[in-house]
Amino acid sequence: MTTDPIRPSDGELAILRVLWDRGPSTVRDVHADLSKGRDMGYTTVLKLMQIMVDKGLVTRDESARSHVYQAAQGEAPTQACLLRELMDKAFEGSAASLVLRALSESPADPAELAAIQATLDRLRKERR
């Protein structure tokens, strides 16, 4: 039995992005990365990461003096969860409406359009 990923808050998602990019990291490492883009206190990051352990969003290795945190789930399942939620709430479950709106709001460059076309071609083949 598989369960859906837990929906992270915006702050938790920022921390998860750091962990997905860096891999297992200490609070200090995560704080250093997050501080590059915004003013965020160390204790705020620490508290959020402790909450994330309790929620099951990250795991914590306590074997060393500085605890090391790791994302409990990969980026793709988390993105899929958030995308399904957005699609259901804002687009009445329509993937086509979501994609068309996304492309009209932020036009894709030629490489992105080629990747989209390749995905559409693959999906057509899989459904035959």
Tokens of 57: 């969003």
| pTM for this predicted structure | 0.82
Q: Using 50, 70 and 90 to split pLDDT, how confident is the model at 40? A: confident
Using the predicted structure, report yes or no on whether residue 4 has a pLDDT greater than 70. no
Long-range contacts (CB closer than 8 Å, 24 or more residues apart) made by 20-24 = 20/71, 20/74, 20/75, 23/70, 24/61, 24/68, 24/69, 24/70
Fold of 1-93: Arc Repressor Mutant, subunit A (1.10.10)
Using the predicted structure, report yes or no on whether residue 30 has a pLDDT greater than 60. yes
Q: Using 50, 70 and 90 to split pLDDT, how confident is the model at 38? A: confident
